[in-house]
Structure 1
Amino acid sequence: MPEVVRNKQVIFKDYVNGYPTVFDMVITSDATVHLELPLNDGGLILVKNLYLSCDPYMRNRMTKAMEGSYIDSFTPGLPIVGYGVSRILDSSHPNFKKEDLVWGLVNWEEYSLIKDTSSLIKIQHTDVPLSYYTGILGMPGMTAYVGFHKICSPKKGETMFVSAASGAVGQLVGQFAKLFGCYVVGSAGSKEKVDLLKNKFGFDEAFNYKEEQDLNAALKKYFPNGIDIYFENVGGKMLEEVLRNMRLNGRIAVCGMISQYNLDQPEGIHNLFLLVMKRIRMEGFIVFDHYDEYPKFLEMILPLIHEGKITYVEDTAEGLENAPAALIGLYSGMNVGKQVVVIAHE
């Protein structure tokens, strides 16, 4: 008989209003899983999850999806779903075999039985930390790559502002921009993060937005001649003040708006006519639409990692039981760098 083991899970309790808490998720070990698949199971794969990714967009999945949303809500009573790195324990799928390493969408649990493999990508390069496939070599890395190189349409010598700049995506965007030859300033929410931006990631300047009484004045200080490119991660008042400081023909890549995710009534932006006056192109994008470029992305990013030309900082939580707190911490800026949850060390 195949071995049966308990499967610890993080269960989503119910839809959330306002700020989520750890009590909106519950840890359970009630489920069990067979460590071998039955014959003729229709192309399933069984994985052991090693690392889980905590990402800001997951907050939107805690409420009922808006019409036209690009991603479904979590289902109350079922496990949270997110990006992870996993090892295949058993497979009847022709494209995956036992011991393959993969990254993609999995349930927040120790073991996952996966039927829809459309999000899974095989890991071919293991000369880097496997946890990197939750970040720099996974969805956040692709987001930074697509957002900067395709949406921002950068030119050497241009000025660039990155909000939430020490996060999983922002830290990479700033480094891509520096390598490209831009002048880069980032904002973050603590002295530690500001120091990281300047001393670790090589930003030209950085500031703590929580200490700035006047964001408009702060942006004018760092961009006396205006901003050519804004990589938008925050929204709200930050976006309003950035618009005042954009240059003619500027570009804004809208990646996320984390300041708005927990508000029952999102803040309005009152100066959008500046888009017309300054001929600004503002474009939202979803990384899911660009995964066909993943091989090209790896070809670019792996040499930069190996040559030490780009660096990446992770904030690690140990154990599935600490995953809810790690996720909730994103929305108050508790993490320093990419938030990763380690389920099992390889």
Structure 2
Amino acid sequence: MPTVKNGSVVYAAHPEGHIEPDVHLKYIESEIDLESMPLNGGVLLKTIALSSDPYLRYRMRDPNVPHFVPAFDLGMPIENSGIAIVVRSDDPNFKSGDQVSGMLEFSDYSVFPGTRPMALARPLRKVEKIPGHPLSIYTGTLGGAGMTSYQGLKGFASEKVKTSKTLFVSGGAGPVGTFVIEYAKVMAPHLKIIASAGSAAKVEIMKDCGADVAFNYKEQDAEAILSEHGPIDIYWDNVAGPTLDAALINFNSEGLIIACGAISQAAHKDGSVVRHFEEIFQRSLTVKGFLLARGEAAHVLSSFYDEVIPLVKQGKITSREHRYSGLKSAGKALRDVHTGDNTGKAVIIVDEEYL
């Protein structure tokens, strides 16, 4: 195997607000000898696709600033979940040609595990292509987004949905939001689902997924919509901020908030201000915050693939991708998930040949 070009996306500077491609992230190229690269018991991977997720913005900071995820190292390739092909293997669990998912460097080629420990490393997992779907589905619907949605709903709301009438989903057109809408309908077909997003196109996506009421929060008042179509029994919160406040004053008693994200506050140093916090105790609300694969609900993930892959094959759980071509587009992909300029799961396609 020859020496080949190896492109990488490295973390170049700490952003103050939104990510600026080519400022905070730099594309660089080096060379790699695919035959002589030491594996040290690991595998040499060729990257196929990488996931762009909102939480990565939290890793773009000074490492001395504490947070719930570790910071990226300046000057080093960033990392996130992705799909790859095994090129060479020193690991008896994998062979050349295996398709795998895992936490990968943003590089054309990388060794797993490498000499630099990944902050959020997890084992590689072999994956099989599902007829009619690209392998990149494992970066979204069958990846972190789907697992997050499944863990939150199945882990915290499997009983609550049976007696609830209304579920509200913010950020409802993203890969987590669409999964929540569709899986909630699988769990409890009687549920009335209200969903919000930030464009007319995204409103149509939420309707296609089964939302009974879908609205553009930039053009319609969330408090008014929830007052008309509520009250809410369950709120899946992807955004925090003003939408959370609108939800709090439109809850039934004994309601459930599943706190998944705070995307509206990701680029703000001071975090989210909740104006109606008192509604939590006045209405006896339960708030369940969680991180993927951690905490009391993580055990449900053991059944994720067994339950969800058949639902994907049946068309009950769908997948939508917003594709970015090549590693050079990674900065734009990471920025767009914060500015709302992506429609569907943001995925960076590194090598389309293997999809």
Alpha carbons 2:9, 2:28 under 8 Å: kept: yes
Aligned counterpart in structure 2 of residue 206 of structure 1, from 203, 210, 214 = 214
In the alignment, structure 1 residue 118 sits paired with structure 2 residue 122 = yes
CA deviation digits over 1:124-159, x for unaligned, max 9? 454342010000111111001011111234323521
Aligned residues: 339
- Counterpart code for 2:149: A
Q: RMSD of the alignment, in Å?
A: 1.9
- Counterpart code for 1:160: L
In the alignment, structure 1 residue 342 sits paired with structure 2 residue 355 = no
- C-alpha separation in 2, matches of 1:265 and 1:308: 42
Residue in 1 that maps onto 2:95: 97
Residue in 2 that maps onto 1:147: 152
- C-alpha separation in 2, matches of 1:205 and 1:89: 48
In the alignment, structure 1 residue 311 sits paired with structure 2 residue 318 = yes
- C-alpha separation in 1, matches of 2:238 and 2:43: 35
Superposed counterparts of 1:49-88, under 5 Å: 49-64=47-62, 69-88=67-86
Residue in 2 that maps onto 1:27: 27
Alpha carbons 1:9, 1:27 under 8 Å: kept: yes
Shift of 1:119: 3.5
- C-alpha separation in 2, matches of 1:292 and 1:216: 35
Shift of 1:269: 0.8
Residue in 2 that maps onto 1:235: 240
Residue in 1 that maps onto 2:309: 302
Alpha carbons 1:37, 1:46 under 8 Å: kept: no
DSSP-derived class of the 2:337 partner: helix
- Counterpart code for 1:134: T
Alpha carbons 1:65, 1:71 under 8 Å: kept: no
- Counterpart code for 2:200: K
Change (3 A) 1:77 1:97: same
Change (3 A) 1:294 1:148: closer
Aligned counterpart in structure 2 of residue 287 of structure 1, from 272, 283, 292 = 292
- Counterpart code for 2:10: I
- Counterpart code for 2:279: L
In the alignment, structure 1 residue 107 sits paired with structure 2 residue 112 = no
- C-alpha separation in 2, matches of 1:52 and 1:155: 33
Shift of 1:42: 2.8
Shift of 1:268: 1.1
Alpha carbons 2:141, 2:318 under 8 Å: kept: no
- C-alpha separation in 2, matches of 1:342 and 1:38: 24
CA deviation digits over 1:54-79, x for unaligned, max 9? 00000000013577644211111011
Alpha carbons 2:101, 2:126 under 8 Å: kept: yes
- Counterpart code for 1:109: S
TM-score by length of 1: 0.93
Structure 1 gap segments, 5+ residues each: none
TM-score by length of 2: 0.90
